[in-house]
Amino acid sequence: MTTARALLDVRDLRVAYPGRGRGFRARPQEVLHGVSLAVDEGETLGIVGESGSGKTTIGRAVLGLVKPSGGHIGFLGQDITHRTAKERRALARHIQVVFQDPYSSLNPSLTIGDTLAEPLVAQGARPRNARVRVRELLDQVGLPADASERLPREFSGGQRQRIAIARALAPGPKLIVCDEPVSALDLSTQARVLDLFVDIQRRTGVAYLFVSHDLAVIRQVSHRVSVVYRGDVIETGPAGRVTSTPEHPYTRRLLLAAPVANPVEQRKRREERQRRKAAERPVSSSTEEGK
């Protein structure tokens, strides 16, 4: 349940991308059809859906990377829907992001220390203070102090994602948009990085908008979950309920798609998912709970 004044308040958000081709195909294609959601301070809202559902577009709109065609994005009580590039840069100290690929999001020619110090110096921190903060950030994400002198290529995928998390934490944000931040990692590394997200939130009070296609990942880190299907939120509720006893047929299919360690059980899940998919009518958003 969100408070009367949420940290992030998204209402009737619409996003359309330019169409390709000529005639009808050239018309803008709407990928979000009026999405509404909210995130409280210190809360994690999980956004889950299959590829192409529009879940990543929600995060990109909040970050200002795509321009909404309609609706409202509020942050700390202020309308940030159509902020200029300059205003967005000022807002970056409060809203940060962790992307899916930790290597491509890090400058390969900069040491980790320089990467982490860069946003701090840009905000006016003295170099000495920035170096102290870098050591604190490395300790916060479980990396040794000497990591600051090394380049991104010298780290594993899990370590690079820890560095990306440290960079997002550097300015002390209120909200971090996490865009599939563990999908490129193996399962054991995923578990450790997810535990790190939870631990950081417990210690700092930062809020997450956590985007993933994996309901098991969402279950581990989220307080509440919004399920997205073809540009609409079709179900929203507490993480425990949505990820164990969902109400919407599409969410039930997502639950069956989540991998399990037992191969026999995995096969049964796959067969049941295919059976339900074939038997169901096209998913309708008329019974949406999250709107």
Give whole-number Cα distances, 284 to 215, 229, 234, in Å: 20, 9, 8
C-alpha distance across the termini of the chain, in Å: 14
The whole-number pLDDT of residue 101 equals 84
The mean predicted confidence, pLDDT, of the chain is 87
Residue type (1 letter), 243? T
pTM of the model: 0.86
Structure tokens at 164: 């990306």
pLDDT at res. 96: 96
Banded model confidence at residue 287, pLDDT cuts 50, 70, 90: very low
57 within 8 A of 4, measured Cβ to Cβ: no
24 against 248, higher pLDDT: 248
- pLDDT tens-digit series, residues 217-268: 999 999 999 999 999 999 999 999 999 999 999 998 888 776 655 555 556 6
Per-residue pLDDT of 92-145, as tens digits, reads 889 999 998 877 878 999 999 999 998 898 888 898 999 999 999 999 999 998
Say whether pLDDT at 278 is over 70.
no
Q: How many CB atoms lie within 10 A of CB 114?
A: 16
Residue 25 has pLDDT above 90, yes or no: no
* Measured distance CA(267)–CA(255) in Å, rounded: 14
pLDDT, residue 240, reads: 94
The answer to whether 249 touches 281, Cβ cutoff 8 Å, is no
Chain centre to alpha carbon of residue 48: 9
For 134-190, write each residue's pLDDT tens digit: 999 999 999 998 999 999 999 999 999 999 999 999 999 999 999 999 998 888 899
Please compute the mean of the pLDDT values over residues 16-35 and round it to a whole number: 81
Quickly state the pLDDT bin for 198 (edges 50, 70, 90). very high
- Averaged pLDDT for residues 20-31: 74
- Asked if residues 233 and 36 have their Cβ atoms less than 8 Å apart, the reply is yes
Residue 191 has pLDDT above 60, yes or no: yes
Angle separating helix axes 127-140 and 157-169, nearest 10 degrees: 130
Residue 277: per-residue pLDDT: 63
Burial class of residue 44 in the structure, from the number of CB atoms within 10 Å of its CB (0-12 exposed, 13-18 middle, 19+ buried)? buried
Cβ 102 vs Cβ 163: under 8 Å: yes
Domains along the chain with CATH numbers: 8-94+171-279 (3.40.50.300)
Q: Which two tokens stand for residue 273?
A: 């998912």
List, in sequence order, every residue forming a beta bridge with 212; answer none if it has no partner. Answer: 48
What is the pLDDT at residue 288?
Answer: 38
Closest to 53 (Cα-Cα) out of 210, 211, 207, 277: 211
